[in-house]
Structure 1
Amino acid sequence: MYDVVLLVEQELSEPDAKRVVELHEDMPEQVRYHVLVPCHNAEAGVEASISALGTADLYGPGLATQRQDLAEAQKAIDSEAKGCSGRSVQRLRDLGKVAEGGISHERPIDALIATVEATHGQEVVILTRPHVVAEFFHLDWTNSARRHLKVPVLHLLEHSSQKENAS
């Protein structure tokens, strides 16, 4: 079994799923895909923003009363990420491939490293929208993955949806 870890920024579109599968169509062994969807941590994001503004002492205690709102927001974020992962896995399965998926609240690169180690991943494919500034400074997921992993890492740009193309 050849294990490929997919780090996706958003749900795999049908064209992207086909493109990923085509990368491995000449593999002599069966390919198993592991779809990883990073999931934003709402509470940590709010607290980091407040701290970055240097106003934690002004707003920090008020955050305690908003924990319920943050918990509800996190449930919604997690639900969307799980749906994204599930639909992405299903697209790969619809193409006759073995696939599984999940979400992570860790930093995307930390989650990717952990997933590659846990699955004994032999290749990584990262699908994102263009991130010109991060890519220019080599701070993007792909460059980070190449620095930390000893497996091939391929970066693909996600296809635009048909709605965007029609505009």
Structure 2
Amino acid sequence: MTYDVVVLIEREMSEGDARRVAALHAKREEPVEYHLLVSSHPERGFGGPMALLGSSFADVAGLTGSASVVGSATGPSARISPPAAPPGPGRTPTAVLADPAVDLASVIEHSSRQLRAASGYPVHVSITHGEVLLALMQMVKATGCQEVVVVAWPETAAAFLCSDWITKARKLLKVPRVRLLEHDT
């Protein structure tokens, strides 16, 4: 039996991101399978660093099929770039991560390679062009995962913590564990 983990990202995972995700499961006795869910910035309710706040749980629970499904296509989307913070004292600029709105193939290739190298476990990739929370719900159900890890920008993570998003997500997704990690910047 495997321990299935869905990892939701909105930008390419850095090596540090992948190491931190893998470290969460390093001591598991059973093999781990990662299911990487990549958003390609759909046109409504999602986009950029605040992307995961685009939908309320009430909206998601009340939708009846009008939203896009994992792997389906919607029209063009607005592109919002991550915040460009200048390096502080003693900090060096970090590598630029690929943006799915510009180079989705690089996001998929680099992120899955980083996570596979850091963990030593298989990484399956899915793309959502539509409503991220619906895609996440569908992936959790399809994989029977036991855990969801969201890798988000610092502003998104802070907003999630303030709104008790993690508790709401755990209840809605019906998984024992939901974790939130900030992108390694």
Q: Do the aligned partners of 1:33 and 1:98 also contact (CA within 8 Å) in 2?
A: yes
Mapped contact 2:10–2:100 kept (Cα < 8 A): no
Structure (1 or 2) with the greater helix fraction: 1
Q: Does 1:122 align with 2:123?
A: no
Q: 1:84 aligns with which of 83, 107, 115?
A: 107
Q: Secondary structure at the match of 2:134?
A: helix
TM-score using structure 1 length: 0.67
Q: CA 1:78/1:129 → structure 2, altered by over 3 Å: closer, same or farther?
A: closer
Please state if 1:157 is matched with 2:158. no
1:105 aligns with 2:129: yes
CA distance in 1, matches of 2:41, 2:77: 13
- 1:27 equivalent in structure 2: 28
Counterpart-to-counterpart distance in 2, 1:24 and 1:134: 23
Cα gap change, 1:73 to 1:116, in 2 (>3 Å): same
Q: Following the alignment from structure 2 to structure 1, what is the Cα–Cα distance between the partners of residues 103 and 168?
A: 26
1:147 corresponds to 2:171: yes
- 1:37-68: CA deviation from partner (whole Å, max 9, x where unpaired): 112234x58xxxxxxxxxxxxxxxxxxxxxxx
Q: Which amino acid aligns with 2:180?
A: H
Residue 29 to residue 71, structure 1, CA distance change in 2 (3 Å): same
Question: Once the 2 structures are TM-superposed, how far is the Cα of residue 72 of structure 1 from its aligned partner?
Answer: 10
Contact 1:109 1:145 in 2 (8 A): no
Residues in 1 aligned to 2:137 and 2:117: alpha-carbon distance in whole angstroms: 27
What CA distance in whole angstroms lies between the structure 2 residues aligned with 1:117 and 1:129? Answer: 26
Shift, 1:120, TM fit = 1.2
TM-score when normalising by structure 2:
0.61
What is the CA RMSD across the aligned residues, in angstroms?
2.6
Please say if 1:136 is aligned against 2:162: yes
Whichever residue aligns with residue 92 of structure 1, its letter is L
Find the structure with the greater CA-based Rg. 1
SS in 2 for 1:100: strand
